[in-house]
Amino acid sequence: MQHLYFIFLIALMITACELPFQTREPEEPISDQSSWIQPTSPHYVMTNLRNAISEKNIANYMRCLADTSQYARPFRFLADPAVANRNPSLFAYWGKEEEITMMNQLLLFLPKDSLSVVKFTLQSETNLVDSVILVQDYDLDIHHNCKETDCPRHMQGQSEFRLLKNNQDLWTIYRWNDSASGEEPSWSALKAHFGK
């Protein structure tokens, strides 16, 4: 009787599993993918900034901005003059903490499947003794779900990025001057709305 029960159990197991010893496909990793490039040149910093925006990766976005623990100068953002005049106290001392606040607020309005894309077009590059100035035209699309009228989704303008490198030859942005160009709102307008 026990032999019949044992044979029945084995037969049941074989019919329940098509291929019991076949390996399964590996699962996708749970963590978000990051396309961070070691910033050994100023242009890699701009690539990292662009990728951090498209990946909605605040940590990598912040790594593009100077940190006084590793760089001689703190990060400073200078807004488009028209936006700064409308928000004088907001942009008086805009630094890394304000960027973190703004990015965290923006992320609250970004669905997981939304697109965020920035395109940079280099206009000029000035190499100095210990730093580089990159003047970039930008076209920025942020598909957030904010319903307020002063939440821009498409921005255009020109930014002057001043970058310097640390003693490990890694580059970062220490100063970011923004200005509008044409009728579209500037990047400063986005920062003004989500940085309050």
**Position 26 in a domain:** no
Question: Which pLDDT score, from 0 to 100, does residue 18 have?
Answer: 53
**Position 135 in a domain:** yes
**Position 11 in a domain:** no
In the chain, % of residues over pLDDT 70 = 83
Question: Which pLDDT score, from 0 to 100, does residue 13 have?
Answer: 56
Condensed to tens digits (0 to 9), the pLDDT of residues 85-137 reads 999 899 999 999 999 999 999 999 999 888 999 999 999 999 998 899 999 99
Contacts with 160 (C-beta within 8 Å, 6 or more apart), sequence order: 133, 134, 135, 136, 175, 176, 177
Question: Which pLDDT score, from 0 to 100, does residue 1 have?
Answer: 56
Tokens at residue 77, please?
Answer: 């953002």
**Position 157 in a domain:** yes
Report how far residue 8's alpha carbon sits from residue 84's, in angstroms, rounded to the nearest whole number.
80
Question: Which pLDDT score, from 0 to 100, does residue 72 have?
Answer: 81
| Residue-number span of the structural domain to which 169 is assigned | 38-194
Between 34 and 68, where is the model more confident?
68
Mean pLDDT, residues 160-187: 95
User: 31 falls in which pLDDT band (50, 70, 90)?
Assistant: very low
Question: Which pLDDT score, from 0 to 100, does residue 2 have?
Answer: 57
Q: Would you list the DSSP string of 143-189?
A: -----STT--SEEEEEEEEEEEE-TTS-EEEEEEEEEE-SSSPPHHH
**Position 33 in a domain:** no
Indicate which CATH number applies to the domain containing 113: 3.10.450.50
* Coil, strand or helix at 2: helix
Mean pLDDT of the chain: 87
Between 6 and 176, where is the model more confident?
176
**Position 67 in a domain:** yes
Between 167 and 191, where is the model more confident?
191
**Position 186 in a domain:** yes
In the chain, % of residues over pLDDT 90 = 69
- If one counts the domains in the chain, the total is 1
Between 167 and 104, where is the model more confident?
104
pLDDT value at 6 more than 90: no
For residue 195, give the amino acid letter: G
